[in-house]
Amino acid sequence: MAKILIIDDEKALRQAIAQILQDEGYEILEAADGEQGLKLLASDRPDLVFLDLKMPKTQGMTVLKQLDQKLFEFPVIVMTAYGTSRTAIEAMQLGAYDYLTKPFDLDELVSLTQRALAHHQVDIDQVGQSDLQSVGHPEELLGRSPAMQSIFKLIGRVAPGNTTVLITGESGTGKELVASTLHAASPRSKGSLVKVNCAALPEHLLEAELFGHEKGAFTGANHLRIGRFEQANGGTIFLDEVGELSPVIQGKLLRVLQDHSFERLGSNQTRMVDVRIIAATNRNLEQMVRSNQFREDLYYRFNVVRIELPPLRGRPEDLDQLTQHFLSILALRRGLKQLAMTKAAMTKLRSSPFPGNVRELQNTLERAAVLSGGRTILPEHLIFSQETQSKEQDTETREQGNKGIQKL
């Protein structure tokens, strides 16, 4: 039988809540103020607490602050007649499980009680549980699947040299992480790793970003700017989304790949750089070459060694390890002893195709950790990108339908 503590200075309300919950089969403890409530919390170890925020002597917020990490040993539902955003936000930040505004619906009270107790008493699946003892670097390539093991071996062979590398794969598969790993494992690791998103800037700005410019080279060029290739001298430059490069930039990059030389904008002085080039794309460059969207000579310059990353759905055996890793990182960042998932939540996680790959998995778990309040993650806390898009499309369809009805 679950034990519930009600801390509220309003005797009539406290007794009404107690009667309702006793009728549901729960054992009830009562406290008329925060000070008495804290004593009962120390001596009787309830499974759930209802806490009024506005009380004489020790206020509800003070009780929450004193409980601190104990809030993860039992859920606390705060109650107040002052339903302001400030009090709600502060209570949730302090670790409250949920929030009720007086007067509240009795059915809602019972339902929330059942949900909070079920969440607190849930069985934890060890596969979906964080392990702070085994937390590696947050930005670390992981995977026990044969596909990922082959990639690790290829990185080991390629890293020591200066060979240009092309990393391909869908968005979210970890192309930037592979580039960072290559650089860190290379003799150039003491030099800079300079990253450039080629899709983020228009052509004229990207050219200046890559190669730099002299003062007065164009309107707004008020000072000399060192480009990314010069910044990466002695190190590595990572060119992400090279499938988005314009024909002009493709031509200028070809020269850098051939002889490591270039000119800043507004200058005719040729400059040499010692830099390793790693490129990445989620597009099919071979098809782009066939359709004359990408230079064939540049494609072959990029494609000296190719590392092709599999989608997450193509390596399902890695999902558990990745989940544990991300949960451990999230727990560490949020100052929690651990962060876990139920078996049902883990089953739901495994059923997702994850079109956004590892990045989507990480975002999904981070969202779930927030929605669960740092407690055990339940299936309802897992919201996938495709579900969000589907809901948005359904909403848009309904709105269009309503507009159509109004016109009729």
Partners of 271 in the beta sheet? 262
DSSP 359: H
- Asked if 170 and 311 count as a contact pair (C-beta separation under 8 A), the reply is yes
Answer whether residue 405 shows pLDDT above 50.
no
Tokens encoding 279 = 């490129």
Confidence of residue 395 (pLDDT cuts 50, 70, 90): very low
Query: In the prediction, which pLDDT does 336 show?
Result: 79
Q: Burial code of 7-36, b = ≥16 C-beta within 10 A, e = fewer? A: bbbbeebbeebbebbeeeebebbbbbbbeb
Q: How many CA atoms lie within 13 A of 282 on its CB side?
A: 14
pLDDT at 199: 93
- Indicate the average pLDDT of the chain: 86
Task: Give the mean model confidence (pLDDT) for residues 339-350.
Answer: 91
pLDDT band at 386 (very low <50, low <70, confident <90, very high): low
| CB-CB neighbours of 337 under 10 Å | 9
pLDDT surpasses 70 at 84: no
Q: Is 211 within 8 Å of 231 (Cβ atoms)?
A: no
pLDDT digits (tens, 9 = 90+) for 165-194: 999 999 999 999 999 999 999 999 999 999
| Angle between helix 357-371 and 385-407 (nearest 10) | 80
Beta strands in 350-399 (DSSP E): none
pLDDT at 88: 75
CA distance linking residue 405 with residue 192, whole number of Å: 61
- 341 forms beta bridges with 377
* Predicted local confidence at residue 352, as pLDDT: 94
Residue-wise pLDDT for 94-145, tens only, equals 888 888 888 888 888 999 999 888 877 764 444 456 665 555 566 788 998 9
Distance CA 243, CA 175 (A): 14
Q: What pLDDT, on the 0 to 100 scale, is given for residue 118?
A: 82
User: Cα 357 to the chain's mean position, in Å?
Assistant: 12
Instruction: Please check whether residue 368 is in contact with residue 381, taking contact to mean a CB–CB distance below 8 angstroms.
Output: yes
Domains in the chain: ranges and CATH: 3-121 (3.40.50.2300), 127-137+315-388 (1.10.8.60), 146-309 (3.40.50.300)
- Write down the pLDDT at residue 114: 92
For residue 388, pLDDT beyond 60: no
- For residues 25-42, average pLDDT: 91
Residue 407 banded pLDDT, cuts 50, 70, 90: very low
In this predicted structure, which of 47-56, 326-335, 396-405 has the lowest mean pLDDT?
Answer: 396-405
Q: Is the dihedral of CA 202, 203, 204, 206 positive or negative?
A: positive
* Backbone torsion region of residue 192, taken as left when φ is above 0, otherwise alpha when ψ lies between -120 and 50, otherwise beta: beta
Global confidence as pTM: 0.77
Distance of CA 214 to the CA centre of its chain: 40
What pLDDT is stored for residue 123 in this prediction? 45
Q: What angle do CA 328, 329, 331 make, to 5 degrees?
A: 65
Please tell me what DSSP assigns to residue 348: H
| Contact (Cβ atoms closer than 8 angstroms) between residue 232 and residue 273 | yes
Indicate if the pLDDT at residue 162 is higher than 70.
Answer: yes
Mean of pLDDT values over 25-51? 91
- Model confidence at 406, pLDDT cuts 50, 70, 90, reads very low
| H or E element in which residue 337 lies | none
Give the pLDDT confidence score for residue 219 in this predicted structure: 67
Return the pLDDT at 124: 45
How does residue 54 score in pLDDT terms, banded at 50, 70 and 90?
confident
